[in-house]
Structure 1
Amino acid sequence: MAATFTIQYAIHALQFVEQELLLFAAFWFLLGAADDIGVDLCWIWLKLTGRAQVDRITREEAGAPLAGRAAILIAAWREADVIGHTVRHALSVWRQDDFTLYVGCYSNDPETIAAAMSGTGADARVRIVIHDNAGPTTKADCLNRLYTALCDDEKRYGYRFKSVVLHDSEDMVHPAELAVIDSALSKVDFVQLPVRPEPQPQSPWVAGHYSDEFTESHAKSLVVRDALGAAIPAAGVACGFSREIIAGIARQRKAEGGPGPFAAECLTEDYELGVLVWREGGSSRFVRVRDETGDLVATRAYFPARLEDSVRQKARWIHGIAFQGWDRLGWSRGLTDLWMALRDRRGPLTSIVLACGYALVVIEGLLASAWLLGAQSHLAVSPFLQGMLFLCFVSLAWRSVMRFAFTAYEYGVGEGLLALLRIPVANFIAIMAGRRAFMGYLRTLRGGAVKWEKTTHSAHPVLAPAGGENGR
């Protein structure tokens, strides 16, 4: 009798938790769905009105001399496996001579220095800069050291750069990138090109989910932001800034005691820099261009293939964009930019709602098992909640269609179908990253230092059979 009472009590407790979680998860799922559908409708309207067309660039235009000299900055710490390939490939596909590639290294990382020198050869377009401090410091600190070297070169040689372009050590650049950025910066202060994660056969699930997310974001969400005139966040790669806007931000940082334009205390200094351009009255663009063969002018890279690395990377993004962004940047007064800031910072809430959703799956399984064993475990769902759950199902179906369509268009139908199967993987990574980001944020509130938890790179897309040295 006591055992029966205990089991029935446990079932009632689960039903109560089920009811509360259903209401909580359904409400926030629908709110997030309305947010996403708003972006979808804007994108559809842009496509129907012809405002989301992708331009083309010819091979001659891609290799034409730049209108002004470009400085490309790459911060490298323990990147011996990839930095040489990145430098060598960039020098082979960028046909212009009017740029300087600055590679920031550390004296206590001789392997990366040697690899960078091997990729450079005797090419005078590269300058390897050794940081004054032992590594690792932070990526922003290394970029500030490169900015100092850039300024020193301007004084030494008597010229001034037109643009400052950011890249990572593992990037595979497109031959037309510098020409596209140079042309765009004749009209605006900041330009961001797409980032294209390359599929990795050895990691179709973890690495593959980046392809799904970046494709939808860089083919739709950023296109909408650009059309609405909202701030364009910098991805830290394939992004170019006018020399004047970088100098202005550097002066502002130095007035506040900083060493340069990049915030060393911020985990996502690139994202913040893009937003600051808009906040300072500068103009920004997100530009999608395809070359004459139909390939997207984008930076290609391998993203983390291991679950732990992916969680650590995404936790850094959530910590920097959501938590530090709220603290450091505050909120915009414009409705459009406020909407986009809310989208950027919903990562912690998304991880909580997803965790509740998967907790519901477990609870429903337990209650179904109890029902099969003869217990009275059925929950009476109100018509209002039934309607919310139906809308949740419709929105999930719509999101799945969008995810399939964008991934299949860029990577093929096979990857599009895999994108649907990768949704739970992406959700699990989001949940774990949200928890890690929150714990990291709590440590900084208690006085803990911000750490450069960089991603380890051991492979480069230029070595892939389908990649080669042609920049595809």
Structure 2
Amino acid sequence: MGSGGWTALQWLALVENEMLLFAGAFFLLGALDEFAVDLCWAWLRITGKASTPRVDRNRLASCRLSGAAAVFIPAWQEASVIGQTVSHALRAWPQPDLRIYVGCYANDANTCEAARAGACGDDRLRIVRLDVPGPTTKADCLNHLYRQMKADETSEGKRFRLVLLHDAEDMVDAAALALIDGAMDGADFVQIPVLPMPQARSKWVGSHYLDEFCDAHGRTMVVRAALGAALPAAGVGCAFSRGMLARFERHADGGGPFSTDTLTEDYELGLRVSAEGGRSRFLRVRGNDGRLVATRAYFPETLAGAVRQKSRWIHGIAFQGWNRMGWTAGPAEWWMRLRDRRGPLAAVVLATGYSLLALSTALFAWQIFGHEPALRLSPLVRAMIVITLISFAWRSFVRFAFAAREFGWREGVRAILRIPVTNVISIMAGRRALSSYVRSLRGEIPPWEKTAHDLHPADAGLCAPARP
């Protein structure tokens, strides 16, 4: 450009300034949001309202149940893991009032046979073979299990007290069943923590889930429960009273209590408990050995698998959840639902932040070679940068602390180093979720994009064996 106009460098510096304002404003808002949760959690800890009780694992493992309990496990092409999952659950939970329902499809005989082999003749396993070819949806599979349970209740003249949801790769805790059974007194929904396991062959992608769940189920869910906001179900390690599922069924279209027109039926189910006037509990308890009573699970180890899974969460929770669940109750509920639905915006802000990092690096290099900056940052922008850096340091420490508490300081350090990986996955998942949502508006039904498993946690020595 001529002497009276701006140079390309000056235009780039202007773009940098505007991007800083955009990203800085939302990073600051996010920092304030997380710090508010930190303050609530700290207050709960100081006042003793967020204490973590200790229980006797051996006593709970052999404790009789107050009534019959059903475990629902939907499965599609899970032959590599379902056998060990069933075997482990039946050994960990010896109670005779337990029954495990595994749903598989007519065109997936391998999964059915693997589940049956894992039971080793234990008659507490019930294989439910769907006549339709799979996969349909996870909710549809769950509804088939529910209808089979109802048929068993009629033929056997009994009624189940509660229903637990689990995935085909979960490693259940020996103390969990009796603990949940006791907590169901006066409750309609109980969620225990989920602990993704560190993965030796996927320390950066597969293991990043443990950073998020240690924080979410060690801090956020504790605050959420204390505020009286509706608790989302994680889909594993969660139990619903038989009466509440019956109420859901009455409000459904006749197919069953699980909504087949959402990608995150488990998340929504937890919120619906509150909408129905039911009571929810988040149960965070440690055994006398110091280990958290939790569901230990295996998550995707590849980048593509992690992006698929998280895009489904964002699509179901942020986009479908906004349409289906709306905004209800008071300020605490609005706050939590805003946090749940921030995935798409977070992806945009993170993408802007990384683009800004690349642009700022280039402009900084220009200055190193003796050139004056094209535009100087305003005091406001400088202040936002400083606050953002302080917030990042604090969030890194929080992530380290919660991961280290469950898995040791080495995983705590990796939790900090995995932050860029987590952010990249979130950006890619946000873009994919938006594309999927746009297609759904045109009438395309999103498929059941389940996670493929070729390794079980027990195979890699990642989960402690069941205690007697």
TM-score (norm 2): 0.97
Residue 375 of structure 1, CA deviation: 4.0
Indicate conservation of the 8 Å contact 2:89/2:171, yes or no: yes
SS of aligned partner of 1:463: coil
Structure 1 position 292 matched with structure 2 position 291: no
AA aligned to 1:469 is P
Distance in 1 between the 2:452 and 2:39 partners?
38
- Partner of 2:166 in structure 1? 167
Quote how far apart the aligned CAs of 1:211 are.
0.8
Assess, with a 3 A threshold, how the Cα gap between structure 1 residues 409 and 468 changes in structure 2: closer, same or farther.
closer
Q: State the shift of 1:374 in Å.
A: 4.4
1:422 paired to 2:421: no
Query: Is the contact made by 1:189 and 1:241 (CA closer than 8 Å) also made in structure 2?
Result: yes
1:184 equivalent in structure 2: 183
Q: Which residue of 1 aligns with 2:441?
A: 445
CA contact (8 A) 2:10 2:375 kept: no
Q: Which residue pairs with 1:111 in the alignment?
A: 110
Report the alpha carbon displacement of residue 438 of structure 1 after superposing the two structures with TM.
0.5
Equivalent-residue separation in structure 1 for 2:98 and 2:10 (angstroms): 69
Task: Tell me which of 27, 31, 42 is aligned to 2:29.
Answer: 31
Partner of 2:224: 225
Among candidates 8, 11, 24, match of residue 10 of structure 1: 8
Does the 8 Å CA contact 1:348/1:434 hold for their aligned counterparts? Answer: yes
CA distance, structure 1, for counterparts of residue 49 and residue 364 of structure 2: 50
Matches of 1:389 and 1:81, distance apart in 2: 49
Report the Cα offset of residue 95 of structure 1.
1.9
Instruction: Choose which of 259, 264, 277 in structure 1 pairs with 2:255.
Output: 259
2:388 aligned residue (385, 389, 392): 392
42 and 27 in structure 1: CA distance in 2 versus 1, 3 angstrom threshold: same
- In the alignment, structure 1 residue 216 sits paired with structure 2 residue 212: no
Secondary structure of 1:461's aligned partner: coil
**Of residues 16, 19, 22 in structure 2, which corresponds to 1:21?**
19
Query: Quick check: 1:62–1:180 contact (8 Å CA) kept in 2?
Result: no
Asked if the contact 2:188/2:280 (under 8 Å) is kept, the reply is: yes
Paired letter, 1:187? G
The alpha carbon displacement at 1:132 in A equals: 2.2
CA contact (8 A) 2:197 2:462 kept: no
2:42 aligned residue (23, 39, 44): 44
Equivalents in 2 of 1:448, 1:61: separation in Å? 47
Q: Residues 371 and 378 of structure 1 are in contact (CA less than 8 Å); yes or no, is this contact kept in structure 2?
A: no
Any conservation in 1 of the 2:99–2:124 contact (CA below 8 Å)? Answer: yes
Q: Secondary structure at the match of 2:458?
A: helix
How far off is 1:447 after superposition?
A: 1.0
- The aligned counterpart of 2:377 is 381
Moved more, 288-297 or 346-355: 288-297
Aligned length: 466
1:158 aligns with 2:154: no
- Per the alignment, residue 53 of structure 2 pairs with 55
**Structure-1 residue corresponding to 2:98:** 99
Question: Could you say if the C-alpha distance between residues 412 and 378 of structure 1 is closer, same or farther in structure 2, counting changes exceeding 3 Å?
Answer: farther
1:207 is paired with a residue whose SS is: coil
- Separation (CA, whole Å) in 2 of partners of 1:471 and 1:418: 29
| Other-structure match for 1:275 | 271
Q: What is the letter of the counterpart of residue 322 of structure 2?
A: W
* 8 A contact 2:14–2:375 mirrored in 1: no
Aligned residue for 1:346? 342
| TM-score of the two chains, using structure 1 as the length reference | 0.96
Can you list the C-alpha shifts for 1:195-236, whole angstroms capped at 9, x where unaligned?
Answer: 001101111100121111100110110011111111110000
Question: What is the percentage of aligned positions where both structures have the same residue?
Answer: 53
Distance 1:178 1:405 in 2: 28
Distance 1:225 1:62 in 2: 29
1:262 shift after superposition: 0.6
| Aligned twin of 1:370 | 366
Report the more deviating stretch, 309-318 or 62-71: 62-71
> Among residues 316, 321, 326, which one is paired with 1:325 in the alignment?
321
CA distance in 1, matches of 2:120, 2:206: 32
Q: Distance in 1 between matches of 2:135 and 2:462?
A: 34
Q: Tell me, what secondary structure is at the counterpart of 1:462?
A: coil
Shift of 1:371: 2.4
Gaps in structure 2 of 5+ consecutive residues: none
* 1:389 shift after superposition: 1.6
1:441-470: CA deviations, max 9, x gaps? 000011111210111011111223353532
Spell out structure 1 runs of 4+ moving beyond 6 A: none
Distance 2:451 2:461 in 1: 24
CA contact (8 A) 1:66 1:96 kept: yes
Cα RMSD after superposing both structures: 1.5
Name the SS for the 2:141 alignment partner. Answer: helix
Could you tell me which residue of structure 2 aligns to residue 68 of structure 1?
67
Q: How far did residue 417 of structure 1 move?
A: 0.8
2:220 and 2:409 map into 1 onto residues whose CA distance is: 21
Conserved? CA contact 1:74–1:168, under 8 Å: yes
Deviation of the 1:258 alpha carbon: 4.4
AA at the equivalent of 1:392: T
Displacement after TM superposition at 1:94 (Å): 0.6
Separation in 1, partners of 2:208, 2:416 = 10
CA distance in 2, matches of 1:378, 1:12: 5
Mapped to 1, the partners of 2:432 and 2:426 lie a distance apart of: 10
Distance 1:194 1:379 in 2: 50
Post-superposition offset of 1:328: 0.6
CA drift at 1:370: 2.5
Give per-residue Cα distances to partners, 1:270-318, cap 9 Å, x unaligned.
0000000011110101001112211111111111110110011000000
Return the alpha-carbon distance in structure 2 between the equivalents of residues 61 and 400 of structure 1: 36
After TM superposition, list the pairs within 5 Å mapping 1:400-415 onto structure 2. Answer: 400-415=396-411
User: CA offsets, 1:10-46, max 9 Å, x none?
Assistant: 2122111101110000110011111111111000000
